[in-house]
Chain A
Amino acid sequence: MSDIVRRDPRKEWIARNRLHPEHSEVLAELCGGASPSEWIGPSGLTRRNPHAVGFTGPNGIKRIDRSGAQQAATQPGGRQAQPKDTRRRVEIETPHFLVAVVPDLPGGRLSSHDRDVLGLARQLADADPERPGAVLAIVFGAHKETTFDEAGVDRLLPMEDAESSGYLSELRIAALQSVERELAPRYWLLPDSSLGGGELGRRLAARLGERPATQVWQVEADVDSDTGWRCTARGAAGTKDITRDLPRVALALAECAEPVSETRHATQAVRLNQALPDVLGRIEDLGEVAVDPASVSLAEAEFILSAGNGVKDWEGYHHAAQVLGATEGASRVAVDDGYMPRDRQVGATGTWVSARVYVAVGISGAIQHLQGIQSCDKVVAINLNEGCDMVKRADLAVIGDAGEILAALVAHIEHYREQQQENRDAA
């Protein structure tokens, strides 16, 4: 169906003129026939439904528009134009060089840091439109990311062979070394994050014999430089700026460049021809150690169960936090009322948290609290009030009594754990 709205001035005029003999038919037609407010009954009498007249305005107040135009706009199957994807598709068939990026993928998805580094890689690859380069993303293990094309990845090299989990930097370095041998990227860019890219990049640089630039936060074109690029990097524990030519291996800080937003890229999968060499690992991973979630500081906790005014059963709440293995947080009201200690307060006056999953139990979402959870990935709200700000912010909101839902969740998890245990025993 065409998106062009065809107007019929005559019908609009009839719809406005309540004395016109065809008024009701035309109005019904413009309304799309859904719950007309006026119709001819079987006995020939005109029947009216006063509840169907008008529409609910933006403030929740019922408005009656006699012009007929507004009613026509509210008809179902509205012609709300879908926001069209206007991003340019870019395919680079024969790249002149490669810019390799090894994203961290915390939790299996591109972090904003990864996107910034990919944006920087795009900057390096697209500098010369005559001789475009391609951005190669090297991804270890399984991932959940589906938007590599939007992040600016031309070539994707999944390393499924390397085992997906655990601490395998020795294996990964061997894999990156074989990428270097086969594809010989011109630049290696990694996010300078504390464990993932920061460590891998330093190992890679040591292995390749390159002297990397670490903590790079700015890259500019520079004709005087050998590589054509000049970078600014932090040094001496963040108190100095080092300006130097951009080396082959660079570890970049967050916000080093703008992430890609205007183009979509091909994300062609590529494979290495040779299998990865076997590496004798001298570091053996024995798995993660269970840490008491209460001992984790709120600012760096990964999973927070936060309580507010809506929590009545505090025993149940603490039990739920223990069963879930979540760090406890609180809104200001809960702290002021003395149910939670001050150091557990989340929000502008308390801690700015960076949890991956934040479960807000009975928190309506004051703006100060929402500021504190700005950088959380997934927010789950359990609340009685459907219209509150926390429900608007949440990725999943469950409307209902907090105590009952928490109890059901605890029961569910305990049941699930029992099943797991049984499966393990059977196996």
Chain B
Amino acid sequence: MPHNATSSSHAGLQVAVLVSIGRHPLTARARRADQDARAVEMALSLDDAAIRLVHAGGNDDDNEEALRGYLGMGIDEINVIKQASNADIVPALVTSLRDAAPQLVFTGSRAEVGEGSGLVPYLLAEALGWPVINGLAQVESIEHGVATVLQALPRGKRRRLRVRLPAIATVDSNAPPARQSAFGPARRGELAARACSSMPDELQAQWHMQTARKRPKRLKIVKSASARDRFKAAAAKAEGGSGQVLSDVSPEQGAEAIFKLLKEEDVLR
């Protein structure tokens, strides 16, 4: 299991995890956000790291329930920066991170409620001047202010990156799944609320939000002058036609041709 990072020398590593309120895709109940929970899991997998959870947003009853989901993962405290419900949370987070000065910031790649644009980590990085990596899959080691991490690429591939700290890393669904939230620790944990001036998000007020419509399916339109061609396109089974067929070749020649294609497509390592 890739859970325990192999590093030992990052004692006193300060890690901040930005967590948000999630929304269950089926029941629409407030819950811990899936990707943020994975980010917490990623932070918990580091040895000797001082983990600090930060949440910025409104603090309703519903939200408290959801935030306690993170506490149930074995966290003692969440720092809640109280904001108005229509606030832009980025300035408040920038202030908070600048004060706390963590070496690593983990967060999910996009929120499950609100705009959910996935921009927050990039805006924070831009404001703080820190590098940002997305799709973090595993932290391999942290030594002398440099972290070696694995980044998840599409198609199950991984890329090794070395990034200078402090840095922001986003976690998406390729990261290891989060542990269950336990009820007792979730009750015992503390939500340390702190008031902070909130900047209203004026642009968002002009938008019109509604439940997602089903997207229209794209029609297969055949543009052709003659009725015969249109009928053929509608009725005929797809014929490759353009493919190259090698018959009456020795296995070696066939293998050569396949090898050439694989080489061209760059799938051989």
Contacts and interface: CB of A to CB of B under 8 A. Distances in A.
Contact of B242 (A203, A287, A395): A395
Nearest to B247: A399
Interface string A348-373: 00000000110100000000000000
Contacts of B132: 203
A400 to B, nearest CB: 6
B232 interface: no
Given A240-B209, A244-B206, A300-B155, A399 B246 contact: yes
A147 to B, nearest CB: 14
27 contacts: A107-B266, A194-B172, A206-B126, A214-B118, A214-B119, A235-B117, A237-B111, A237-B112, A239-B28, A239-B211, A241-B212, A243-B209, A255-B215, A283-B131, A283-B133, A283-B162, A284-B161, A288-B158, A289-B159, A300-B155, A300-B156, A302-B155, A382-B258, A395-B242, A396-B243, A398-B246, A399-B248
Contacts of B158: 288-289, 291
A324 B256 CA distance: 14
Contact of B163 (A242, A282, A295): A282
Contacts of A359: 258
B209 A398 contact: no
Contacts of A302: 155, 157, 267
B163 A325 contact: no
Contact of A396 (B117, B161, B257): B257
B246 A286 contact: no
Chain A, interface SS category: mixed
Contacts of A378: 261, 265
Interface in B44-82: none
A395 B244 contact: yes
Given A236-B114, A289-B150, A412 B207 contact: no
A262 B269 CA distance: 39
Closest 8 CB pairs of A and B: A296-B156, A398-B254, A408-B255, A399-B247, A409-B255, A286-B160, A404-B251, A206-B122
B227 interface: no
Nearest to B242: A395
B243 A400 contact: no
A360 B131 CA distance: 43
Interface string B163-203: 11001000010000000000000000000000000000001
A252 to B, nearest CB: 13
A189 interface: no
Contacts of B156: 291, 295-297, 300-301
Interface stretch (A10-18, A130-138, A339-347, A386-394): A386-394
Nearest to B256: A412
Contacts of A255: 215, 218
A288 B131 contact: no
Interface string B214-251: 01001000010000000000000111111111111101
B33 to A, nearest CB: 9
B247 A386 contact: yes
Interface of A: 107, 167, 170, 194-195, 198-199, 202-203, 205-207, 211-212, 214-215, 217, 234-245, 255, 261-262, 282-291, 295-297, 300-303, 324-326, 356-357, 359, 377-380, 382, 386, 389, 391-401, 404-409, 411-413, 416
Contacts of A282: 131, 163-164, 167
Highest count of chain A CB atoms <10 Å: which of B117, B150, B157, B248? B117
A398 B125 CA distance: 52
A236 B115 contact: yes
Given A195-B153, A207-B126, A202 B118 contact: yes
A396 B113 contact: no
Interface string B117-141: 1110011011000011111000000
B264 to A, nearest CB: 8
Given A237-B25, A359-B258, A398-B257, A386 B245 contact: yes
Contacts of A395: 240, 242-244, 261
A325 B268 CA distance: 7
Contacts of A206: 119, 122-123, 125-126
Contacts of B10: none
Contacts of B14: none
Contacts of B144: none
B109 to A, nearest CB: 9
A235 B150 contact: no
A359 B254 CA distance: 13
A400 B254 contact: yes
Nearest to B219: A258
B227 to A, nearest CB: 16
Contacts of B215: 217, 255
A203 B122 contact: yes
Highest count of chain B CB atoms <10 Å: which of A198, A296, A302? A302
B110 to A, nearest CB: 7
B117 A212 contact: yes
Contacts of A389: 237
A408 B112 contact: no
Contact of B23 (A236, A382, A396): A236
Nearest to B155: A302
Contacts of A194: 135, 154, 172
Contacts of B208: 242-244
A389 B112 CA distance: 44
Contacts of A409: 255, 258-259
Highest count of chain B CB atoms <10 Å: which of A217, A241, A297? A241
Given A205-B119, A409-B258, A397 B251 contact: no
Contacts of A243: 207-210
Contacts of B203: 211
B269 A286 contact: no
B116 A392 contact: no
Contacts of A242: 115, 207-209
Contact of A286 (B126, B162, B167, B248): B162
B105 to A, nearest CB: 14
A365 to B, nearest CB: 10
Contacts of A291: 156-158
